[in-house]
Structure 1
Amino acid sequence: MKNPYESGRAWIELDLKNLEHNVKVVKSILPHDCELMAVVKGNAYGHGAVPIAFSLNALGVNAFCVATITEAIQLRESGVVGEILILGYTHPVDFPLLNRYELTQAVISYDYAKLLDSYTSNIRVHVAIDTGMHRLGVDVRDLDAILAIFNMEHLFVTGIYSHLCADTYFSELDESFTDQQVSLFAELVNTLREQDYIVKAHIIGTFGLLHCPTVGGDYARIGMALYGVFARRIDLVACPANVKPVLTLKARVMSIRTVRKGEYVGYGFAYQADRDRRIATVSIGYGDGYPRSLSYGRGDVLINGHYAPIVGRVCMDQMMVDVTHIRSVHPGDVAVLIGKNYNAEITVYDLAEQANTISTEILSRLGARLPRLCI
């Protein structure tokens, strides 16, 4: 692959020094005897699962979780080592692949456990426990079903886990419901251990680690904190961890033209110049995962340290921006869509707020045709 600096149309840069910094920060606040399990689902939240997991392996991280068996196999075939937990559904047709690639499958319900057990080859599993989210897992109060899963002939249960509902910690309900979930899960873990079912247990993710660090567990499933961002800007206020963004999104200025007063730009006559303007076409669009909802001047890019507003509609492969106020812009110049450019910056929070969503959606939608470049 050619160096994106020389010929690329659009690409993602991954700052591995910031990733290393974030790993150190996370490890410094992990509870005693709690291991970091890196969440690399959704292509590592758009960062690139393979380069991120490889880098984490080099930093001593050897436990990962993904959403699908396809994601898990991609990591294994790329040489990533350590435990890989699949948090989502795997079709029975693919059960043989679980052992072939030494993967751990989540048990998402009692019926699913029976289905896994019917495949007559021992499968390594973690049992998902529903402590109140009502998405996946066996009801925490159904001890008979949980014990039955532990005693299934072809399941090798190595862990149990649950997931906290709250993703902020600003209301009494956030706090009380989190305490309830943690208490229910801890009671179950103690009950199982009293009956000599001793397996790894985990319930905290990034939210739990930052707001309930004393909860503990054998793993902390950490995603966003590793990448130096959170779901919303407001989460930074309550975050005690000084993490740094890993991802920068860049594209090329393809061409520059003068649009005369009264002329239109792009599809649907969406933008009409109010005076003569210089318009640059930038080589990235919604086909790369950039939000189309940032059309009509809602979004900006950075060129030569200046904000250039989007004009008209974001297209599949390009967008047009107004560079009338920016001196010396040329085809081939770099446009920054997420990240810093000289003294200016566009954060993923800016995009998320402009698109009326959360940063995790913005990042996880960044497309496969964007090369990921480690710097």
Structure 2
Amino acid sequence: MRTLTLHSNNLDRAWAEIHLANLGHNVKVLRNLLPHGCELMAVVKANAYGHGDVKIARYLNRIGVFSFAVATIEEGIRLRTYGIKGNILILGYTDPHRLPELVRYRLSQTVVDYKHAKQLNASEQPISVHIKIDTGMHRLGESCNNTAEIESIFQCRNLRVCGIYTHLYVADSTQEDDIAFTKEQLSDFYTLLEHLKQHRIKLPKMHIQSSYGILNYPELQCSYARIGIALYGVLSSPSNRTKIQPELRPVLSLKSRVVLIRQIVAGECVGYGRAFSASRNTRIAVLSIGYADGVPRSLSCGKGEVLIHGCRAPIIGRICMDQLMIDITDIHNVKRGDIATLLGEGGSEVITAEEVAAASETIANELLSRLGSRLERVYL
């Protein structure tokens, strides 16, 4: 992603503004929440949740962050190719035939189960790994009950076990039964660690928490905290209530320009399927952004809004691949070239990622990570 000025000719359509000062603020706030000895591991998978992985990681390097997590080997290679320093952990599965690339680019690989460990070990090339432990989510990881298999992973001579971790997958909930389940997960994980110690296995660095783990279970002692969505100043849902509520600042704003204004009369329709029919003489503006840029189509027909001249304007008709239409009848002096804000502040109003995600019946994580590649990222 290129760094552009706000006057760039490339900003005549749609773009995302990335506020690096807010990212730095969030890093400082989140570090202050970590237990002593715990290091922030920045999760920059999915193009850093839509923010631009290389630019984000470079900035984090500059402010002293040197531990990163990605989802795929391609994401890890990309960071190394652009000179990112520090530890890079691949959280997802990597096929053993790509082990030479893990070595070449100095990437740490998650061992997703005992069979995966044996396949990686068979290559005869030493690599750094973290062992994923399944404590109930049943996604990736060797079951915490399979202690013999986990011990065997530590005995693999070509695997340098640098970490062991699990995932608290209902840590975002403060409901009593979910808290009880999270405590069961922690008990199972700590029981496994104690078993390993009793069998004279030196424990590597340990990590448990993601964003919500830090916000709801800040007391947990660990070596790393894998922080994703909170790093970008956002929570997954506006309904989430956390034990700790730090002052985080959104890093990303999403904007587009008005490219056409037209007047329609009562009874005329707008957009595909004639989904909007004007009940009055209506002034509409066309914005040059659509669902191919990551704007959820489910925000069509009044379910979504944008900010223009500091006022909220409803989206009318169905969102198109490359454009959407808004009702500006009650907003004065809108003209071609004006900027509309889909995420972020406009005057005294603000539209948050959490708000838009809820209106789209999804979470902010998905909303941000699906922002399209043709959107320019402007780093401020």
With the length of structure 2 as denominator, give the TM-score of the two structures. 0.95
Quote the residue 1:23 is aligned against. Answer: 27
Task: Indicate which of 93, 99, 103 corresponds to 1:99.
Answer: 103
Tell me which amino acid in the other structure corresponds to 2:128: R
Tell me which amino acid in the other structure corresponds to 2:71: A
Q: Deviations over 1:238-267 (max 9, x none)?
A: 443111111111111111111122222111
Quote the residue 1:143 is aligned against. Answer: 147
Quote the residue 2:317 is aligned against. Answer: 312
Contact kept, 8 Å, 1:227 with 1:244, in 2: the verdict is yes
Unaligned runs of 5+ in 2: none
- The yes-or-no answer on 1:178 pairing with 2:207 is no
Q: Deviations over 1:48-89 (max 9, x none)?
A: 111111111111110000111111111111111110000001
- The yes-or-no answer on 1:286 pairing with 2:322 is no
Quote the residue 1:65 is aligned against. Answer: 69
Quote the residue 2:245 is aligned against. Answer: 240
Tell me which amino acid in the other structure corresponds to 1:69: I
Q: Deviations over 1:343-373 (max 9, x none)?
A: 1111112211111111111111111111111
Separation in structure 2 between the aligned mates of residue 237 and residue 29 of structure 1, nearest angstrom: 13
1:70-219 superposed matches below 5 A: 70-194=74-198, 195-219=200-224
Separation in structure 1 between the aligned mates of residue 196 and residue 187 of structure 2, nearest angstrom: 14
Separation in structure 1 between the aligned mates of residue 189 and residue 232 of structure 2, nearest angstrom: 28
Aligned length: 375
- The yes-or-no answer on 1:226 pairing with 2:262 is no
Unaligned runs of 5+ in 1: none
Quote the residue 2:351 is aligned against. Answer: 346
Quote the residue 1:373 is aligned against. Answer: 378
- The yes-or-no answer on 1:327 pairing with 2:332 is yes
- The yes-or-no answer on 1:337 pairing with 2:339 is no
Separation in structure 1 between the aligned mates of residue 264 and residue 245 of structure 2, nearest angstrom: 49
Contact kept, 8 Å, 1:303 with 1:334, in 2: the verdict is yes
Separation in structure 2 between the aligned mates of residue 237 and residue 138 of structure 1, nearest angstrom: 29
Separation in structure 2 between the aligned mates of residue 234 and residue 296 of structure 1, nearest angstrom: 24
Contact kept, 8 Å, 2:20 with 2:379, in 1: the verdict is yes
Bigger mean CA offset, 29-38 vs 164-173: 164-173
SS in structure 2 of the partner of residue 233 of structure 1: coil
SS in structure 2 of the partner of residue 119 of structure 1: coil
Separation in structure 2 between the aligned mates of residue 145 and residue 34 of structure 1, nearest angstrom: 28
- The yes-or-no answer on 1:56 pairing with 2:60 is yes
Contact kept, 8 Å, 2:110 with 2:131, in 1: the verdict is yes
Contact kept, 8 Å, 1:295 with 1:313, in 2: the verdict is yes
